[in-house]
Chains A and B, each alone.
Chain A
Amino acid sequence: MPSRSDASGMLHGTLDALILKTLTWGVRHGYGIARWLEEATEDAVPIEEGSLYPALYRLERRGLIEAEWGVSELGRKAKFYRITPKGRRQLAADTEEWTRFSAAVSKVLIPSGA
């Protein structure tokens, strides 16, 4: 198992954006989000599983996502999250920010015409 450093400091904003993005495809519970992140990023983004939850609570408090209790695939009671319109706006802003950032970083790291 690859060692996972706690990257919450560096990747804080990134994690929020990833969660929001995950929820644009539909309602999911916490474990579902964790699984999707693993698969989508192919474990390239090292996230300690536990740090997902404080991020979820914080997003909920800020009104970017909302939660309701429902029944999971296996018939267990689980807390499902859904993105709010405010969350979608935030995601759009974050994406734009990320694009600008990564473009700038790419320009430096990858010499043009190489």
Chain B
Amino acid sequence: MTFGRRLRSRIWRGSVEDEVDAELGFHVEMRARELEARGMSPVDAHDAAVRRFGDIERVNATCRSIGKQRDRGMRRTEYLTELTQDLTFAARQLFHHPGFTIVALLTLALGIGATAAIFSAVQAVVLRPLPVPEPSRILAVYTAFPQGRGNVAAGNYVDGIEPVSSFAATTAIRYSSFNVADTAEAERIIGARVTAGFFDVFGVAPALGRVFTKDEDRPGAPNVVVLSHRLWARRFGGTPAVLGSQVRLGGQPYEVIGVMPQAFDFTAQTEELWVPMAFTAERRAMHDEHQYQVYARLAGGATPERALAEVRRNAEGIRARFPKEAAELDFAVATVMEEMIGEYRRRLFTLLGAVGLVLLIACGNIANLLLARATARSGELAIRAALGAGRWRIIRQLLTESLLLAVLAGAAGIALASWGVKALTAAAPPGVPRLEQASINPLVLTFTALVAVVCAIVFGLAPAVRAARTDVQSVLKEGGRGTSGAAMKDRLRTAVIVGELALALVLLIGAALLIRSGIALERVSPGFDPSHVLAARISLPGTDYQDPERVLQTFEQVVSAAAAVPGVSSASLTSQVPMGPGGNGNGLIPEGKAFDLRNSTQSRLRIVTPGYFETMGIAVVRGRALTAEDRRGSLKVMVVSESLARALFADADPIGRRVACCEPGPDGKTPDFKTVVGVAADTRWRGPAEPPSPEFYLPAAQIPAVAWDWIQRTLYVTVRTTRDPSTVINPLRSAVGPIVPGVPLFDMRTMEQRIGASLQTARFNTLLLTILGGLGVVLAVVGIYGVIAYFVTRRTREIGVRVALGATRRDVIALVVRQALWPVGLGIGAGVLASLVATRLLRNQLFGVGPTDPITFVIVAVAMTLVALLASFIPALRAAGSDPTSALRSQ
């Protein structure tokens, strides 16, 4: 575009209409004058001129419309030209100040990258809907216990949930692991027994073959199995030929009838095969064994509220019909996403908030850098303003610079984030649902771009507006030295520092609370000695091991083989190790109380062999441990935990007392009694963060035959070793293997690994928040240093005068540090107030320390103040060391 054309658009400020009118009018007037000069009368001349012109109305309209198009095009070109100019200028500015550019880019790229990485985790885990039709219409139905939600008994599912009209489909699920044996190596696979409604509830059709029907979900129907895509691809070579073939599950042949699509593998941890539940008539009558997870799909038009009302009404009916087994039965519902994501929603959003705070602090630092630069550039900007650049034009140019910076940082941030996502998924504790699917996808890219633009506005707007407001004349008069007087009391810059400190303090207090929780958790005694203990599970298939005597004998052979392994000092079996999944519970009633559910104490059952207390290092505080003499035929005994003893007998001596439990007595009506022979220390079997709850131990040799079915003939082999337990893994496998051919030893881990896994999520969160807190503090301290150093540079002359007039080093240091006192004090104060609110988000993750723990608050606040003042001390020292003569000559 040439100068003339642009000038025209500047000078002609009128509308296109005026322009056309004036131009055509001029023509007619000129023609009329000419005709007049040839001798016509003025009136005739005018008429003739108009006539000669033709249809002036039409010409006028055509010109106006073309003129408007012309102006639109011109404005667009002009805008693009200016943008190109601004971008070129911005790029040149960044290139000519490599120090500033590198610092700003690094800071921002780190902040944006971290934010993008965490956001991709949030998106993968929390925001993404389940890959099923209308996931919001799938509900999980629970039994509402006083302690919380739990699984549902078969009878209550059949009577209370299946017939509900608000549900289009319902399903009961029981996860269990299967020994899979076919041509390939025997493997332990997590699968699920599900009722036929399962596939309707989730609304997903098989990718191959079919799913099972209601008729196949009956006892005695032929065995069929549906495979997950994952299992099919891994074990069956992903070939359609698998349909119709036989697979041995737990020793029995099953026909493969279908394969589900890949998208149905919600997470890497979900089950890998489905077999029909086939409830027996006996099961359908059970109202007090809460073993099944229940899901339902809402019927068209039904609401979760209506469904809940219906199931609760049914619960009322069941209570009335089975006053003993279902005395306090009630149901609760939740959406399937709530059920699956649960606590991770809050944790991940807390993390996203924390990383957002770090990014804000980073923006604060860059805003301060830009403010300092804007002051240095005030001369240049004043000249531009004097040459006619409007205020908006200058703001636009400065914002373009910020935007360019943010976009470059955003691009670098994406690169960092793609690395960060990999690191995050690799380092995260197992069990975070769907985290492994986190990636830099279009949504994450869009979010990142948005974050970059918001950043540019956050750190760029204030400096730009202020620069544009600068009084041109005063700046030019000062010879480009900037407004030194105003810079001293720079409120804006101080406010930025106050904000940064407050945000950093919030992060640091959060991290400190988590660290203190971690320390408290490590210090908790779990009630057993986890060092040098190895545990692995064995599950005997029901087909080969129907005889309870044979099961017991086999397990006794296993334990003696394990005890003979070199390096093993003690070996035993247990139906459940601390931190282990699942497990069984029973209601216990002490002798002398009525057999009423209300008199029972719920307690966890552990079926063990005599050496268990020694192997696991659980202290027997009263009476005796179980011994080899506690066999079938001798007195039926039990060992109770301390908390169970208190619950059953209060302060009385429990030894020798009898407790009803677990099986009908000889008369078939009253329950069987066991005599308490010992009291064992409480264990924190759900993990160090959970308080102990009642437990009781029965000798494996005395349990009723039916109990083997309760625990599905599955026990843990536990061994205490004299050397590193990991060196015993292979000898243990080869010692036990020959006793149970074809049955794998699985879930082999040390007790320390099991505790570690239960603490892993907490440790991971603590680690991340500590890193973010540290990053926030470093950024905030750099920010304070920068601003104080800037103040010192601006006041070099004044300090020189003071020194020349006799001020000592101490006076100068005090002068500078005093400059920092206000913002630091305000920032810490604001940070403490904000933390009082923000740390509530962490409440569920804290252990042994409150969310507003005063000690943590004081220590962190004091430490932060000291570090902040230290940061201002360095420029103060430099100021004190400067030579007054050169200081006075400066500027």
Whether A30 lies near B26 (C-beta < 8 A) is: yes
Q: Chain A residues with Cβ under 8 A from B11's Cβ?
A: 68-69
Whether B26 lies near A50 (C-beta < 8 A) is: no
Whether A76 lies near B26 (C-beta < 8 A) is: yes
Q: Chain A residues with Cβ under 8 A from B52's Cβ?
A: 1, 49
The distance from the CB of A25 to the nearest CB of chain B, in whole angstroms, is 18
A82 interface residue per 8 A CB criterion:
yes
Task: Please report the C-alpha to C-alpha distance between residue A53 and residue B63 in the assembled complex, in whole angstroms.
Answer: 7
Whether B53 lies near A57 (C-beta < 8 A) is: no
* Complex interface: stretch among A59-67, A88-96, A102-110: A59-67
Whether A31 lies near B5 (C-beta < 8 A) is: no
Whether B22 lies near A79 (C-beta < 8 A) is: yes
The distance from the CB of B75 to the nearest CB of chain A, in whole angstroms, is 13
Whether B8 lies near A49 (C-beta < 8 A) is: no
Whether A77 lies near B22 (C-beta < 8 A) is: yes
Per-residue interface assignment for chain A, residues 13 to 40, with 1 indicating a CB less than 8 Å from any chain B CB and 0 otherwise: 0000000000000000111001000000
Measured CB to CB, the nearest residue on chain A to B1 is: A63
Q: Chain B residues with Cβ under 8 A from A79's Cβ?
A: 19, 22-23, 26
Q: Chain B residues with Cβ under 8 A from A61's Cβ?
A: 66-67, 69-70, 73
Whether B69 lies near A51 (C-beta < 8 A) is: no
Q: A49-B52, A51-B54 in contact; A31/B70 too (CB < 8 A)? A: no
Whether A54 lies near B63 (C-beta < 8 A) is: yes
Measured CB to CB, the nearest residue on chain B to A67 is: B8
Q: A66-B2, A66-B4 in contact; A60/B30 too (CB < 8 A)? A: no
Chain B contact-residue range equals 20 to 34
Q: A68-B11, A69-B11, A82-B4 in contact; A49/B27 too (CB < 8 A)? A: yes
A48 interface residue per 8 A CB criterion:
yes
Per-residue interface assignment for chain B, residues 1 to 42, with 1 indicating a CB less than 8 Å from any chain A CB and 0 otherwise: 010110110011000000110111011011101000000000
Q: Which of A50, A53, A66, A69 contacts B5 (CB 8 A)?
A: A66
Whether A50 lies near B66 (C-beta < 8 A) is: no
Task: Please report the C-alpha to C-alpha distance between residue A78 and residue B56 in the assembled complex, in whole angstroms.
Answer: 18
Task: Please report the C-alpha to C-alpha distance between residue A61 and residue B11 in the assembled complex, in whole angstroms.
Answer: 18
Q: Chain B residues with Cβ under 8 A from A60's Cβ?
A: 70
B55 interface residue per 8 A CB criterion:
yes
A58 interface residue per 8 A CB criterion:
yes
The distance from the CB of B56 to the nearest CB of chain A, in whole angstroms, is 6
Whether B8 lies near A53 (C-beta < 8 A) is: no
Whether A58 lies near B66 (C-beta < 8 A) is: yes
B866 interface residue per 8 A CB criterion:
no
The distance from the CB of A30 to the nearest CB of chain B, in whole angstroms, is 5
Whether A50 lies near B4 (C-beta < 8 A) is: no
B59 interface residue per 8 A CB criterion:
yes
Q: A49-B54, A68-B7 in contact; A30/B62 too (CB < 8 A)? A: no
Q: Chain B residues with Cβ under 8 A from A69's Cβ?
A: 8, 11-12
Q: Chain B residues with Cβ under 8 A from A72's Cβ?
A: 26, 30
Q: Chain A residues with Cβ under 8 A from B55's Cβ?
A: 50
Measured CB to CB, the nearest residue on chain B to A32 is: B30
Q: Chain A residues with Cβ under 8 A from B59's Cβ?
A: 50-51, 53-54
The distance from the CB of A62 to the nearest CB of chain B, in whole angstroms, is 9
Task: Please report the C-alpha to C-alpha distance between residue A82 and residue B4 in the assembled complex, in whole angstroms.
Answer: 10
Q: Chain A residues with Cβ under 8 A from B5's Cβ?
A: 66
Task: Please report the C-alpha to C-alpha distance between residue A34 and residue B54 in the assembled complex, in whole angstroms.
Answer: 13
Q: Chain B residues with Cβ under 8 A from A49's Cβ?
A: 27, 31, 52-54
Q: Chain B residues with Cβ under 8 A from A58's Cβ?
A: 66
Q: Chain B residues with Cβ under 8 A from A29's Cβ?
A: 26
Q: A50-B59, A67-B8 in contact; A31/B69 too (CB < 8 A)? A: no
Q: A61-B69, A69-B11 in contact; A53/B24 too (CB < 8 A)? A: yes
Task: Please report the C-alpha to C-alpha distance between residue A76 and residue B30 in the assembled complex, in whole angstroms.
Answer: 10
Q: Chain A residues with Cβ under 8 A from B66's Cβ?
A: 54, 57-58, 61
Q: Name the interface residues of B50-84: CB closer than 8 Å to any CB of A.
A: 52-56, 58-59, 62-63, 66-67, 69-70, 73
Task: Please report the C-alpha to C-alpha distance between residue A47 and residue B63 in the assembled complex, in whole angstroms.
Answer: 17
The distance from the CB of A7 to the nearest CB of chain B, in whole angstroms, is 12
Whether A57 lies near B7 (C-beta < 8 A) is: no
Task: Please report the C-alpha to C-alpha distance between residue A79 and residue B12 in the assembled complex, in whole angstroms.
Answer: 10
Q: Chain A residues with Cβ under 8 A from B58's Cβ?
A: 50
Q: Chain B residues with Cβ under 8 A from A30's Cβ?
A: 23, 26-27
Q: Chain A residues with Cβ under 8 A from B27's Cβ?
A: 30-31, 34, 49, 53
Q: Chain B residues with Cβ under 8 A from A77's Cβ?
A: 22, 26
Task: Please report the C-alpha to C-alpha distance between residue A39 and residue B19 in the assembled complex, in whole angstroms.
Answer: 27
Task: Please report the C-alpha to C-alpha distance between residue A17 and residue B447 in the assembled complex, in whole angstroms.
Answer: 54
Partner-A contacts on B (CB < 8 A): 2, 4-5, 7-8, 11-12, 19-20, 22-24, 26-27, 29-31, 33, 52-56, 58-59, 62-63, 66-67, 69-70, 73
A-B residue pairs, 5 tightest by C-beta: A50-B54, A57-B66, A61-B70, A50-B59, A31-B30
**20 more A-B contacts (CB under 8 A) besides A49-B54, A53-B59?**
A29-B26, A30-B26, A31-B27, A49-B53, A50-B55, A53-B20, A54-B59, A57-B62, A57-B66, A57-B67, A57-B70, A60-B70, A61-B67, A66-B2, A67-B8, A69-B8, A69-B11, A78-B23, A79-B22, A84-B2
Q: List 21 A-B contacts (CB under 8 A).
A: A31-B30, A34-B27, A48-B54, A49-B27, A50-B59, A51-B54, A51-B59, A53-B62, A54-B59, A54-B63, A54-B66, A57-B62, A57-B63, A57-B66, A57-B67, A61-B70, A66-B2, A77-B26, A79-B22, A79-B26, A84-B2
